[in-house]
Copies of this chain bind each other. A is one copy, B any other.
Amino acid sequence: MSKRTSLKDIAKELNISVSTVSRALRNVGEVSEETRRKVKELAESWKYKPDPLALGLLKNKTGYIGVILPDPVNHYFSTVLHGMNIVAQENGYHLLISYSYDQSVNEQKAIDDFVWARAEGLMICPAIDTIDIRKYQQIGGNGIPLVFVERDIPEMDVPAVITDNYKSMQSLMEFLIGCGYRRIALITNLEYYSVGRICYQAYTDVLKKKRIALRKELIIHGNMSISTSVEAARHLLQLTPIPDAVVVTDDCSAMAVMKVFQEEGLSVPDDIAVTGFNDEPFTSYISPPLTTVSRPGYLMGMKAMELLIETIKKSKSTTDCEKIILESDLVIRNSTIRSPERWTR
């Protein structure tokens, strides 16, 4: 049960004052060479390190960055966290982590706790059901830098790092239409702060541009869990005619949807095409390989953390309010490549 050694311990041992020890160790103030040497030697051998709590109290700095993500069990968010962790570690910060499980109430609690614990910065992916936006302002009010990641709230003056989901979805839709697909269904999360919301926008915009009628029955809102997506897929099969393509804004759900179709005896993509979102590792391994949108989660986490730490360091909360938009790529695989002769059916 080795007690931690404090300045006081060293001071007592050397019969000098605490302040002298402090100055000696930090090479500031006027301390004789003799004393400085002795202090440093003793500190070394006793493995003195300043107490982070005392330092935090004094300087109002803790070295902690609070991270709030919607879900721990999500490959994409994991890559984001990975990127954040690498950069934080490089800069000597530690990560306090909390998960909102996409519920605003949890997020609010985490924010309060982190602010109160003097986190030096907050990195948040807003919960999908967020309606009260003031909580984010309150953070700024406490002088704590905040960065949004993955989900932005445009009307807020907060830096954010996101991907160009609108553009990606646009490309995807144009690609599908270019292939010849016309009855394109959409399974997505329509809640406001969600990838799905933006995808929905792009979906309708492209259809309009291409003069394809928007059919409500082809749009299904879901929370992107496997079970609800399976249900959605079954629902789509009730329609006559069934869709010729289904865009799902999540890889896992897309995988499950595809399986429903296959179990019903349909061929993907010859009877019905399917696409996903995120390009998770398995997508190229399932059968058929999934057409999806590859997004740079790792890079996003890094960029966001760099932005946050930069803001912390210049500590001006300068409200530059950079909104960094990273590019994502359409990855075309066999789940949408229909053999030409099958178009005649």
- Complexed CA–CA distance, A251 and B120 (Å): 39
- Complexed CA–CA distance, A75 and B82 (Å): 13
CB distance from A105 to the nearest CB of B (A): 12
- Complexed CA–CA distance, A273 and B230 (Å): 29
* Contact between B57 and A53, CB atoms less than 8 A apart: yes
Q: Is A96 an interface residue (CB 8 A)?
A: yes
Q: Is A255 an interface residue (CB 8 A)?
A: yes
- Complexed CA–CA distance, A287 and B75 (Å): 21
* Contact between B142 and A2, CB atoms less than 8 A apart: yes
Chain B residue, CB-CB nearest to A81 = B72
* Contact between A116 and B72, CB atoms less than 8 A apart: no
Which residues of B lie under 8 Å from residue A255 when comparing CB positions? 282, 285
Q: Is A180 an interface residue (CB 8 A)?
A: no
Q: Is A28 an interface residue (CB 8 A)?
A: no
Which residues of B lie under 8 Å from residue A259 when comparing CB positions? 285
* Contact between A54 and B52, CB atoms less than 8 A apart: no
Chain B residue, CB-CB nearest to A109 = B89
Contact mask A59-87 → B, CB, 8 Å, 1/0?
00010100000001111001101100100
Chain B residue, CB-CB nearest to A58 = B53
* Contact between A117 and B1, CB atoms less than 8 A apart: no
* Contact between B99 and A97, CB atoms less than 8 A apart: no
* Contact between A82 and B73, CB atoms less than 8 A apart: yes
Which residues of B lie under 8 Å from residue A56 when comparing CB positions? 53
* Contact between B53 and A143, CB atoms less than 8 A apart: no
* Contact between A94 and B94, CB atoms less than 8 A apart: no
Q: Is A252 an interface residue (CB 8 A)?
A: yes
Which residues of B lie under 8 Å from residue A1 when comparing CB positions? 141-143
- Residue of B53, B81, B226 near A53 (CB, 8 A) is B53
Contact mask A235-257 → B, CB, 8 Å, 1/0?
00000000000000000100110
* Contact between B94 and A113, CB atoms less than 8 A apart: yes
Which residues of B lie under 8 Å from residue A42 when comparing CB positions? none
Q: Is A118 an interface residue (CB 8 A)?
A: yes
- Residue of B4, B95, B226, B286 near A287 (CB, 8 A) is B286
- Residue of B54, B62, B89 near A57 (CB, 8 A) is B54
* Contact between B226 and A281, CB atoms less than 8 A apart: yes
* Contact between B62 and A53, CB atoms less than 8 A apart: yes
8 interchain residue pairs of minimum CB distance: A287-B287, A282-B282, A72-B82, A53-B57, A73-B78, A255-B285, A53-B56, A97-B97
